[in-house]
């Protein structure tokens, strides 16, 4: 890099020769679910270049955390502690652990109900979720009505079931619409393949063989049209050639 003149001028050449800096305390770490501020708020970094490296550090994964009494480490490998190192206490326990008697271990929801969202943060009554004496209390605490298919948007290739308004999604909230979703099977029917001819006449859905035959007919018709057009062109050329011969003979 060079200054604009023979001598550098601080007022004119700073943008040419210098990077803009900022204090770490003013920088927001990218991907805050993964990174956290270092304890260096007064340190300077080069804006838009080195601030993530200079000011932030990776949050430790929950797999390194030791849960408190009566709690079990989450199996979710993407969860991280609140700081660069996991620490004993409520903050990281809430992020990384769940109680051994959490509702996610309750497997006896009544018909038409399912485990509520966030069941791993709700607790069964008693020390274990499977105690028969607490079944009704646990159903009230851990289960909720399965969502109705009414608002489920069937994906491409599917249509609403005729009984959609009375059908239910798998859990208390319908999944995002996709062909792989179990809720698609609950709420939708697959669209049959229909040929254009059958659709125009209102006939029953065509089989794969019928659609193949229709495509073959279209292809043969196209070839016939091309052949006919080529014959017309040849006749026009022959006519022009005969007229030219007659004109030469006359002269």
Q: Count of CB atoms within 10 A of residue 160's CB?
A: 16
pLDDT of the residue at 220 = 53
What pTM value is reported for the model?
Answer: 0.42
The tokens describing 149, both together, are 């298919």
Average pLDDT over all residues of the chain? 80
C-beta of residue 55 within 8 angstroms of C-beta of residue 27: yes
Burial of 165 (C-beta count, 10 Å sphere; 0-12/13-18/19+)? exposed
The answer, yes or no, to whether residue 29 has pLDDT greater than 60, is yes
Taking the C-alpha atoms of residue 159 and residue 180, their distance in angstroms, rounded to an integer, is 15
Mind listing the pLDDT tens digit for each residue in 178-206? 888 899 999 999 998 655 555 555 555 54
Mind listing the pLDDT tens digit for each residue in 134-169? 899 999 999 999 999 998 999 999 999 999 999 999
Return the bridge partners of 115, or none. Answer: 143
Mind listing the pLDDT tens digit for each residue in 125-137? 876 787 888 899 9
Residues of the chain by 3-state class (helix, strand, coil), percent to 5? 40, 15, 45
Taking the C-alpha atoms of residue 108 and residue 129, their distance in angstroms, rounded to an integer, is 9
pLDDT of the residue at 13 = 64
Taking the C-alpha atoms of residue 9 and residue 168, their distance in angstroms, rounded to an integer, is 73
Mind listing the pLDDT tens digit for each residue in 236-251? 776 776 777 776 666 5
The answer, yes or no, to whether residue 225 has pLDDT greater than 80, is no
Mind listing the pLDDT tens digit for each residue in 50-102? 888 889 999 999 999 998 887 778 877 788 999 999 998 888 988 888 776 88
pLDDT of the residue at 213 = 47
Taking the C-alpha atoms of residue 181 and residue 157, their distance in angstroms, rounded to an integer, is 13
| Residue 18 or 91, more confident | 91
Output DSSP code: residue 54. Answer: H
């Amino acid at each position: 890099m060079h200054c604009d003149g023979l001598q550098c001028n601080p007022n004119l050449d700073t943008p040419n020769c210098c990077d803009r800096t900022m204090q770490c305390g003013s920088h927001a770490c990218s991907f805050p679910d993964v990174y956290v501020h270092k304890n260096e708020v007064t340190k300077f970094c080069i804006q838009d270049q080195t601030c993530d490296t200079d000011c932030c550090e990776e949050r430790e994964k929950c797999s390194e955390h030791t849960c408190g009494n009566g709690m079990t480490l989450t199996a979710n490998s993407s969860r991280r502690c609140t700081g660069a190192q996991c620490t004993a206490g409520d903050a990281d326990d809430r992020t990384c652990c769940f109680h051994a008697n959490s509702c996610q271990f309750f497997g006896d929801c009544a018909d038409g109900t399912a485990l509520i969202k966030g069941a791993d943060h709700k607790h069964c009554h008693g020390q274990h979720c499977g105690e028969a004496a607490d079944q009704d209390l646990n159903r009230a605490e851990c289960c909720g009505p399965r969502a109705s298919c009414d608002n489920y948007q069937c994906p491409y290739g599917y249509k609403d079931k005729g009984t959609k308004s009375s059908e239910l999604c798998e859990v208390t909230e319908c999944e995002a619409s996709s062909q792989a979703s179990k809720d698609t099977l609950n709420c939708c029917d697959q669209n049959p393949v229909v040929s254009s001819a059958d659709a125009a006449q209102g006939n029953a859905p065509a089989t794969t063989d019928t659609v193949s035959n229709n495509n073959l007919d279209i292809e043969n018709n196209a070839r016939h049209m091309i052949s006919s057009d080529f014959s017309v062109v040849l006749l026009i050329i022959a006519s022009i050639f005969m007229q030219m011969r007659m004109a030469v003979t006359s002269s």
